[in-house]
Amino acid sequence: MPLTPPVPLTPPVPLAALLAREDLALRQIAGPAAPGVVLHGAHASEMTDPYPYLLGGELLLTAGVHLPDVAEWDAYFDDYVTRIVAGGGAALGFGVAPVHDTVPGALVDACEAQGLPLLEVPPRTTFAAVARAVWQLMERARTAELRRVTEAQASLAAAASRPDPVPAVLRQLAQRIAGRAVLYGPEGTEIAGAGQASPDDLPLAGLARILTARVPAAPTATATASDTAPSGAHLAAYALGAGQGFVLGVAAPRRDPGDHTIASVAAVLLSLLTGEQQSGSGAARSSALVRLLLGSAPDEVAPLLGRESGQPWLVVHARPDAQTPGPVAASALGTALGSPLVDLAADVVRVLVPADRAPGPQPGWTLGVSAAAEPADWPAADAQAARALARARATRAALVRHGRGAGLLDLLPQDEARAHARTLLAPLAASAPLSETLRAWLSLHGSWDRTAVALSVHRNTVRQRIARCATLLGTDLDDPDVRMELWFALRNQ
């Protein structure tokens, strides 16, 4: 089974498109009128044997200068057309005038017998005009194909950043090739697929297993194999790199020139999504984890994560806008944020990101980002990110950053501020839900609905908790001075 060769991006043009050009007035007088006949170029030649000069797929143009005596036409044209067909010529154009007034009947018969489309080129149409028309049609087709490939690349990249990246990439690929795309695991089992299933899936799976066996440690995502299904569908398999054992299988009813490029882009993206994160050293990360478990301080461990001691980090909390995130979606988010330090906990993904890689909004995700923090302050930054995410969800913002610049709080001794906060909030100390509800409610300017969204509870629950807070604190929470002092205390806990 041959490896898939590179496919030229310039697509052929249908012969029917050339015949439709009214300015040329071409007329097909022999050969099949099948719409599947395509042209890869145009070439004029008066050679008696054009075979050595044909690349395949051309419209060969001749005025019959090379023809022998009329008595020999039958045998001559039989051999002439045979050589054109053997050389891969797609069609023959015969120019009427100045050498011949009509197309020789023997040529018409030979083309009809051997299934070669024969076009009559009228006197007013030059071969140069026909060739130019072919190249114009090819350039238009090439521009359209480039646009299709570019749009497909953009849509695949967007799909890879979704919370369900692998299925999303497969869906986009299947849509772009009007066929089926399947991701196979190391054992040849189907992991995910998109597009309508068909009997072609069986030979496609076989092709994937053959490729896996042939290239057990493919260094890149470019190792491919191709075949044709009994139905005539084009099958292709792409090994996903670094010896992962994953294979992308593609089945399409036809193969357009840009399909290989589109599928290759999808293979590269899937290789990144299914492979281990390569940012940083896996061994160093394992060492960092072990040292933390054995009691080392975070600031001693941070250099193993690729950062010098004292350099700040951000904590990011993220939730997908739709379904619960899985490991692949969490890994893809980490890749998008530029960090392999990802934790998937319940319905929230936490990512530790170097502060110089400040994250932006991610399609399909809601993000909360902490202030920059050194390793010793990671727990506080984690709480900041959680609150920022809750605020982002409540306000329907794609991303909220925890912002804390210099202010009144910085003018007071920290120990005294914390002592005051503990005293003021002591009645709530035994109930974390009450403290957190009060914090969210104050941060959202007393909005019951937004607080309910942020805490994932019913708005009546928020009302009951806030009323309980007012009772325990013995104060009026409608008083702006009271709210300000409580917010001050909550910020200094």
CB contact at 8 A, 108 and 32: no
> What pLDDT is stored for residue 414 in this prediction?
63
Question: How much of the chain, in percent, has pLDDT values that exceed 70?
Answer: 85
Residue 222 binned pLDDT confidence (cut-offs 50, 70, 90): low
The 3-state DSSP class for residue 214 equals helix
Q: What's the pLDDT band for 247 if we cut at 50, 70, 90?
A: confident
The reply to whether 411-491 shares the fold of 25-124 is no
Whether residue 52 is predicted with pLDDT greater than 80 in this model: the reply is yes
The helices-and-strands tally (H runs, E runs) of the chain is: 16, 17
Domain ranges of the chain: 25-124, 148-274, 309-401, 411-491
The more confident residue out of 413 and 301 is 301
Smallest CA-to-CA distance from 310 within 374, 229, 396 is with 374
Q: In angstroms, how far apart are the furthest CA atoms of the chain?
A: 120
Q: What is the pLDDT of residues 267-294, one digit of tens each?
A: 888 887 776 444 344 556 666 776 676 7
| pLDDT of 25 strictly over 50 | yes
Mean of pLDDT over the chain: 81
pLDDT at 297 over 80: no
Look up the CATH superfamily of 148-274. Dynein light chain 2a, cytoplasmic (3.30.450.30)
Answer whether 384's CB lies under 8 Å from 371's CB. Answer: yes
What mean pLDDT do residues 399-412 have? 62
Query: Pick the residue with more confidence: 316 or 243?
Result: 316
Token pair of 201 as six digits: 């899936």
Q: How far is CA 358 from CA 160, 208, 369, in A?
A: 20, 40, 9
pLDDT in tens, 117-168: 999 999 999 999 999 999 999 888 888 888 888 888 888 888 887 777 888 8
Residue 90 pLDDT grade (very low, low, confident, very high; cuts 50, 70, 90): very high
Q: For 42-46, 219-223, 411-415, 431-435, which range has the lowest pLDDT when averaged over its residues?
A: 219-223
Q: What is the pLDDT of residues 326-383, one digit of tens each?
A: 777 777 787 778 787 888 877 888 888 888 877 888 878 899 999 888 888 888 888 8
Give mean pLDDT, residues 480-485: 83
What pLDDT score does 290 carry? Answer: 67
Residue 433 has pLDDT above 80, yes or no: yes
**How far apart are alpha carbons 342 and 252 in whole angstroms?**
37
Continuous segment of H or E residues that includes residue 212: helix 201-214
Q: What share of the chain in percent tops pLDDT 90?
A: 22
Which CATH number describes the domain made up of 411-491? Answer: 1.10.10.2840
State residue 293's pLDDT score: 67
Q: How far apart are CA 318 and CA 360, in angstroms?
A: 12
Of 33-37, 305-309, 391-395, the one with minimum mean pLDDT is 305-309
The 91-95 sheet, strands edge to edge: 27-30, 118-121, 91-95, 58-62, 41-44
Could you give the residue ranges of the DSSP H alpha helices within 306-447? Answer: 327-337, 378-395, 414-424, 432-443
Tokens read off for 428? 């709530």
* pLDDT given at position 355: 84
Q: What is the DSSP letter of 373?
A: B
Helix (H), strand (E) at residue 92: strand 91-95
Residue 234 has pLDDT above 60, yes or no: yes
Token pair, residue 488, equals 């001050």
Range list of β-strands (E), 286-390: 313-320, 342-345, 348-354, 365-369
pLDDT at residue number 279: 38
The pLDDT assigned to 3 comes to 34
Which pLDDT score is estimated for 393? 85
* Residue 214 confidence (pLDDT): 57
The superfamily CATH assigns to domain 25-124 is: HprK N-terminal domain-like (3.40.1390.20)
Distance of alpha carbon 227 from alpha carbon 448, whole angstroms:
61
Confidence of residue 195 (pLDDT cuts 50, 70, 90): confident
